């Protein structure tokens, strides 16, 4: 546990996180740090005192979203119908993506920020793996897709979510429905290539 900050320092920290949360949500993860500082009414030097790099600020801003994603996954696992659980989880993730450009980027962009709190990500993956497995065991999710497939599918979908968020904020529901129809069991065609291993997927997403 780190020693507590001085009162003014803590206040500034909170202001910074709040400003960053707002700007990240509106404009993505690439907002200039100087703008965040200005928007928080604090100097750029203070920002660097509190957060050595952009990634630390991102960690602080999105800690609650990571937690929310976890809760979402647990709720999905608690739903009586496995397919409903899967749909619920994907819908929830897309909702957050549509509401927050920063979250979208974090959940979908390959790049330097994916590192945010390694073990939280690992936990999230473990939960998602259970959601997928459960849906497959129930016979509703086609048996030949893997978690890695799902991640890429969502990843691609994120771009649509982002592009249409401003113009038709609910359109992603349409595309998600389209996508889910491809994941259902009824008459899947054989898939032409083997899936990615978890390790390969990891490498593909953080170059």
Catalog residues that contact DNA under the rule CB under 7 A. 5-9, 12, 32-35, 42-46, 48-50, 52-54
Distance, in Å, from the CA atom of 47 to the CA atom of 57, rounded to the nearest integer, reads: 9
Which of a copy of itself, DNA, none has residue 155 at its interface (CB below 5 to 8 Å by kind)?
Answer: a copy of itself
Does position 203 interact with a copy of itself (CB under 8 A)? The reply is yes
Cβ-contact 178, 133 below 8 angstroms: no
Task: Tell me: does residue 153 bind a copy of itself (CB under 8 A).
Answer: yes
By C-beta, is 23 or 132 nearer to DNA?
A: 23
Q: Cα(71)–Cα(77) distance, rounded to whole angstroms?
A: 10
The answer to whether 147 touches 129, Cβ cutoff 8 Å, is: yes
Residue nearer to a copy of itself on the CB measure, 12 or 108:
108
- Cβ proximity to DNA: between 90 and 116 the closer is 116
Q: Which of 32, 110, 122, 143 binds a copy of itself (CB under 8 A)?
A: 110
Rounded distance between C-alpha atoms, residue 52 and residue 104, angstroms: 23
Residue 46 partner contact from DNA, a copy of itself, none using kind-dependent CB cut-offs of 5 to 8 Å: DNA
Rounded to an integer, what distance in angstroms lies between the CA atom of residue 127 and that of residue 133? 10
């Amino acid at each position: 546990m780190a020693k507590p900050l001085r009162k003014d320092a803590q206040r500034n920290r909170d202001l910074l996180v709040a400003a960053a949360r707002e700007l990240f949500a509106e404009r993505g993860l690439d907002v200039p740090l100087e703008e965040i500082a200005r928007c928080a009414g604090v100097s750029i030097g203070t920002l660097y005192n509190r957060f050595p790099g952009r990634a630390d600020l991102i960690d602080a801003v999105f800690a609650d979203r990571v937690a929310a994603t976890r809760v979402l996954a647990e709720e999905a696992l608690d739903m009586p119908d496995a397919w409903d659980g899967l749909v619920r989880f994907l819908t929830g993730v897309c909702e957050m993506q549509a509401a927050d450009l920063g979250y979208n980027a974090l959940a979908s962009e390959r790049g330097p920020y994916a590192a945010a709190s390694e073990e939280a990500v690992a936990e999230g993956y473990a939960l998602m793996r259970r959601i997928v497995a459960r849906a497959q065991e129930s016979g509703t999710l086609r048996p030949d897709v893997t978690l890695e497939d799902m991640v890429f599918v969502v990843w691609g979908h994120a771009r649509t979510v982002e592009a249409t968020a401003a113009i038709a904020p609910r359109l992603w529901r349409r595309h998600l429905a389209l996508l889910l129809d491809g994941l259902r069991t009824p008459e899947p065609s054989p898939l032409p290539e083997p899936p990615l291993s978890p390790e390969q997927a990891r490498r593909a997403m953080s170059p």
